[in-house]
Amino acid sequence: MSIAIVTGSAGLIGSEAARHFASQGLTVVGIDNDMRSEFFGAEASTQWQRNVLIEELGDNYVHVDCDIRDNDAIGALFAKYGSDIKLIVHTAAQPSHDWAAKDPHKDFTVNANGTLNLLEATRQSCPEAVFIFTSTNKVYGDTPNHLPLIEKDLRWEIDPSHEYNDGIREDMSIDNCTHSLFGASKVAADVLVQEYGRYFGMKTAAFRGGCLTGPNHSGTQLHGFLSYLMKCTVTNTPYTVFGYKGKQVRDNIHSYDLIQAFDHFYRNPRSGEVYNIGGSRFSHCSMLEAIQICEELSGQKLSHSYAEANRTGDHIWYVSDVSKFQSHYPDWKLTKDVRTILAEIHSFNVERWQEPTA
């Protein structure tokens, strides 16, 4: 029996990973204790996705209600399956700038200590397994905000003569900048993943994601902006745009395209790799552009306001250069752009969002 351990298995990327690798013949052991509802409230709970996975995947899925901060529990779980574990996809995290500032200790122990627990359990029980970590572009802090940017009608855009015109590469410095506490805890985890690969020769990769999105996202105000933006449009919920005139730009990668990247790495792994991964120039938009697309697809107007203060460490313009990953795995391609992603989010969720609450 070949095992894939997926942390945060009821979340957006975790659930997509669980489905994909189960379809490839692996038995998926999913670790998820629905801390997302603790972070962001009941509306962000992933319990519904957990129930769907259990029903949909049957014997190919084993759910474990466990906290990745519990080193003894994680160690025992890995020891139980031992060398049958072929893959670890680590997606569990505290993912919000704002929430991290409320409880820095919990943010750090989830993101950094939890990652260390998983890496060490892998080294002790299944050192030949492939370890994939969902890092973040926030490891670069606010350094991208010092790029030469030009203001357009609906967006900020980088000076086309700049070397990062095609997107930000992995050679951008992570030093001498403001990260937010969330960014700092993810830097720690990111570097640990690299170090276990390079120091111990393990098969590890940190994927520094832009905006990871898709129809299974339990979006909320503090995390998951495309999903939450469409939800607010459909349900007539007021939405606040924070800073940069609403012209801040993000690239957005569909969970399907990200998991395909994970699959390529799993089948031909390397040690201690770092990849910027996102929608690149293929799939990116500003906040104002995203609002327009949501309104067009839903046929409804978004009730939104503007707050002048941006979130600490937030990016004005961030587009990923995915050419390093594509050079290592040339068969991988992006398939879903922003409009396609938002159309899927709308069609998949519109009935569920409009159901009356008890």
Overall size of the chain counted in residues: 358
DSSP, res 316: S
Beta strands at 273-277 and 203-209: parallel, antiparallel or unpaired: parallel
Alpha helices in 145-240 (DSSP H): 181-200, 225-235
Identify each DSSP E strand in 24-155 by its residue range. Answer: 27-31, 61-64, 85-90, 130-136, 149-151
Instruction: Quote the pLDDT of residue 220.
Output: 57
Task: Name the helix (H) or strand (E) containing 203.
Answer: strand 203-209
Chain centroid to Cα 80, Å, comes to 28
Tell me how many domains the chain contains.
1
Nearest Cα residue to 179 out of 170, 188, 171: 188
What residues are paired with 130 via a beta bridge?
87, 203
> Range of 220's domain?
3-354
**3-state DSSP assignment of residue 67:** coil
Nearest Cα residue to 217 out of 254, 192, 258, 250: 254
Q: Residue 311 sits in a domain of what CATH number?
A: 3.40.50.720
Tell me the pLDDT of the chain (358 aa) as tens digits: 899 999 999 999 999 999 999 999 999 999 999 887 878 777 778 888 899 999 999 999 999 999 999 999 999 999 999 999 999 999 999 988 788 899 999 999 999 999 999 999 999 999 999 999 999 999 999 999 999 999 999 999 999 999 999 999 999 999 999 998 999 999 999 999 999 999 999 999 999 998 999 887 665 555 567 888 999 999 999 999 999 999 999 999 999 999 999 999 999 999 999 999 999 999 999 999 999 999 999 999 999 999 998 877 689 999 999 999 999 999 999 999 999 999 999 998 888 787 654 4
Q: Can you tell me the distance from the alpha carbon of 248 to that of 244, in angstroms, rounded to the nearest whole number? A: 6
Instruction: Quote the pLDDT of residue 225.
Output: 78
Decide: 31 and 9 in contact? Cβ < 8 Å: yes
Let me know if 200 is exposed, middle or buried by CB neighbors in 10 A (0-12, 13-18, 19+): middle
